[in-house]
């Protein structure tokens, strides 16, 4: 969220002009690309002092690089979250659990290159087939279970069923050349169950005039772009068309340019496709009703258009499953209402998409699992966003984004877990209302002035409360911890914060920045349960004393200069 302050921006622009040449030196660039080993939790990475050391390379504030430099890699190891099934019908989440539904009819669909075999559907079910493109319509209200298996490179499944629907993914691959891969248009709850050990793949149709894959990794790759295992490495752009000045692809050189003929897709300005028939696209795997994903298999989604995984109601992800969504255009994962992440692995990569990666239209609740989000295709690329409350109770959340990494348009509440957030151009953790941190480990690295690591809507009367947990925030500015916060913090203002230097608070926490802040300086905020009001603390740079606070006040002690313009 941009909150431009005239005085702050004036200072930033002055500093930008003064420091640009120094910032772009080869030595600085080499310094900023060093990778940081170690962990985020105190004691993980720096011996007796402990460490709050995020992995990843450097990034100059005010642009000049991509999110891949932060080294945020896809999750691979399955978290050991306990999957608790709600058994009380009075619980609002009762209907989200497939175990609470009795399915009488068990049908099967086996896809192949030549078509699809369908068996076991109810008598009233109507099946329309065009090769491997299936449309199933049923007016029955009895819960229906369908097992999906086989492989098709040219097929899709459309379901017009209002009853509860269980889709058992049992090593199925569906790649559509005409639109969505799986589209459920009924109002009933859809339960996508990933069979144990199964590998399942979905992709929707691609723009027919785009070059092959645009360097996009094959489905089933070990995570991220580039070489196997590279995670956030630089994409292989070997298939990208050559560009002339102005960014237009060479295949359009002989045509007179008409602005209406072009749009932004795959992160670049491309010619709109010339189609005989306009395709009506909803996404790759889209459900009109609520959607729950459970099981102990994997689901890989390649989205080329609107959205990879979507519920037009609410979406729940349960422990044990592994979901990877790579979006070349549009959103990665979206729920129109609530989004519940209770466990499992969720990897969302929108590195080429200029859209938001993981979003919901109402409240978002993260209670477990390992969620990794990359959003770097454009200035509006946000990582994780909820339109109302966002509450993180546990699990691991890692986000690298060009815009806000984590954004709640209501309150943002962190009660536990591990949260790592990077933004190249905006705030790392941002809320349009209050930010309340009661526990967990939070690392937030935002851009330089006027952006920062932790930003609530303080100009509108909302506040930042730090009541517990270990917190490190770095950026141009942060919201000031409210005086009612129950845990002390130290805020340190620096004219220059350099990559790979160790910034430490006493023997409690230490930090090495993945980027250098020169233009306008930086603000470094520490908070820990070990900090005690009334005690002195020394701030050091590479072991040398830089500042000393003789008596830490609650909730905030400051050092290193005057206040930033607000």
CA distance to 128, 488, 549, per residue, from 534 (Å):
75, 10, 10
The average confidence (pLDDT) of the chain is 78
Residue 5 pLDDT level (bands cut at 50, 70, 90): very low
Query: Could you read off the pLDDT of 151-173 as tens digits, one per residue?
Result: 999 999 999 999 999 999 999 99
DSSP 110-177: EEETTEEEEE---TT-EEEEETEEEEEEE---S-EEEEEEEEESSEEEEEEE-S-EEEEEEEEEEE-S
Which positions ≥6 away from 290 have C-beta within 8 Å?
A: 95, 96, 189, 190, 311, 313, 314, 315, 316
Q: Given this model, what pLDDT does residue 560 score?
A: 61
Q: How much is the average pLDDT of 84-88?
A: 96
Residue 119 pLDDT level (bands cut at 50, 70, 90): very high
Q: Given this model, what pLDDT does residue 445 score?
A: 93
Q: Given this model, what pLDDT does residue 378 score?
A: 76
Instruction: Determine what percent of the chain is predicted with pLDDT higher than 70.
Output: 74
Lowest mean pLDDT among 12-16, 117-121, 378-382, 451-455: 12-16
Lowest mean pLDDT among 137-151, 352-366, 371-385, 546-560: 546-560
CA distance to 225, 234, 370, 534, per residue, from 231 (Å):
6, 9, 15, 45
Residue 299, pLDDT > 50, answer yes
DSSP 169-228: EEEEEEE-SSS-SEEE-SSS-EEEEE-TT-EEEEE-PPPTTS-SGGGPPPTT-SSEESST
Q: Give the C-alpha separation, 402 to 422, whole Å.
A: 8
Q: How much is the average pLDDT of 410-439?
A: 96
CA distance to 79, 184, 309, 387, 417, per residue, from 398 (Å):
14, 31, 19, 20, 11
Which positions ≥6 away from 80 have C-beta within 8 Å?
A: none
* Local structure of 333: helix, strand or coil: strand
Contact 457, 433 (CB under 8 A): yes
Residue 74 is encoded by which pair of tokens? 């896809």
Closest to 287 (Cα-Cα) out of 461, 161, 123, 397: 161
Q: Given this model, what pLDDT does residue 380 score?
A: 80
Q: How much is the average pLDDT of 277-296?
A: 88
Closest to 345 (Cα-Cα) out of 364, 367, 317: 317
- Percent helix, percent strand, percent coil in the chain, to nearest 5: 10, 40, 50
Q: How much is the average pLDDT of 422-441?
A: 96
Q: How much is the average pLDDT of 39-52?
A: 30
Q: How much is the average pLDDT of 531-538?
A: 90
- Which of 6 and 493 is assigned the larger pLDDT? 493
Query: Could you read off the pLDDT of 321-363 as tens digits, one per residue?
Result: 999 999 988 899 999 999 999 999 999 999 888 899 999 999 9
Closest to 480 (Cα-Cα) out of 403, 385, 557: 557
Q: What is the dihedral of CA 172, 176, 180, 181, to 10 degrees?
A: 0
Q: Given this model, what pLDDT does residue 498 score?
A: 86
């Amino acid at each position: 969220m941009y909150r431009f302050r005239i005085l702050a921006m004036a200072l930033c622009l002055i500093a930008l002009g003064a420091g640009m040449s120094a910032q772009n030196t080869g030595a600085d660039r080499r310094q900023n690309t060093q990778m940081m080993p170690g962990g985020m939790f105190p004691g993980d990475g720096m011996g007796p002092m402990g460490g709050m050391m995020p992995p990843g390379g450097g990034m100059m504030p005010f642009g000049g690089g991509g999110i891949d430099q932060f080294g945020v890699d896809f999750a691979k190891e399955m978290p050991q979250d306990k999957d608790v099934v709600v058994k009380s019908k009075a619980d609002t989440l009762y209907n989200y659990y497939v175990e609470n539904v009795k399915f009488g009819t068990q049908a099967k669909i086996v896809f192949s290159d030549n078509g699809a075999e369908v068996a076991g559907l109810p008598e009233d079910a109507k099946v329309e087939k065009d090769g491997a493109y299936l449309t199933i319509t049923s007016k029955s209200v009895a819960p229906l279970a369908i097992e999906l298996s086989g492989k098709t490179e040219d097929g899709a499944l459309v379901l017009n069923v209002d009853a509860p629907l269980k889709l058992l993914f049992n090593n199925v691959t569906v790649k559509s050349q005409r639109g969505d891969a799986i589209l459920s248009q009924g109002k009933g709850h859809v339960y996508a169950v990933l069979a144990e050990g199964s590998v399942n793949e979905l992709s929707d149709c691609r723009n027919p005039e785009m070059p092959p894959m645009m360097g996009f990794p094959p489905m089933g790759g070990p995570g991220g772009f580039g070489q196997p295992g590279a995670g956030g490495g630089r994409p292989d752009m070997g298939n990208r068309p050559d560009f002339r000045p102005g960014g237009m692809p060479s295949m359009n050189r002989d045509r007179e340019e008409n602005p209406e003929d072009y749009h932004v897709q795959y992160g670049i300005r491309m010619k709109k496709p010339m189609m005989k028939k306009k395709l009506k696209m909803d996404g790759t795997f889209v459900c009109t009703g609520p959607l729950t994903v459970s099981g102990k298999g994997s689901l890989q989604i390649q989205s080329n258009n609107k959205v990879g995984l979507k519920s037009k109601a609410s979406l729940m992800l349960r422990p044990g499953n592994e979901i990877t969504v790579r979006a070349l255009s549009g959103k990665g994962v979206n729920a129109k209402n609530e989004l519940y992440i209770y466990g499992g692995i969720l990897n969302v990569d929108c590195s080429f998409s200029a859209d938001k990666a993981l979003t919901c239209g109402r409240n978002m609740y993260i209670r477990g699992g390992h969620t990794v989000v990359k959003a770097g295709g454009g200035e509006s690329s946000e990582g994780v966003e909820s339109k109302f409350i966002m509450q993180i109770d546990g699990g691991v959340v890692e986000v690298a984004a060009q815009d806000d990494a984590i954004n709640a348009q209501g309150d943002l509440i962190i009660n536990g877990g591990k949260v790592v957030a990077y933004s190249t151009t905006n705030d790392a953790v941002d809320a349009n209302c209050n930010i309340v941190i009661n526990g967990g480990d939070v690392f937030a690295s935002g851009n330089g002035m006027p952006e920062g690591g932790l930003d609530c809507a303080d100009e509108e009367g909302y506040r930042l409360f730090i009541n517990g947990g270990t917190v490190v925030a770095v950026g141009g500015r942060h919201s000031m911890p409210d005086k009612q916060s129950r845990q002390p913090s130290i805020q340190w203002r620096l004219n220059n914060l350099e990559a790979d230097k160790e910034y430490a608070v006493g023997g409690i926490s230490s930090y090495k920045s993945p980027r250098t802040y020169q233009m306008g300086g930086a603000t470094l905020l520490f908070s820990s349960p070990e900090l005690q009001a009334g005690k002195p603390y020394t701030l050091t740079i590479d072991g040398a004393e830089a500042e000393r606070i003789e008596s830490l006040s609650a909730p905030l002690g400051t050092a290193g200069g005057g206040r930033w313009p607000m």
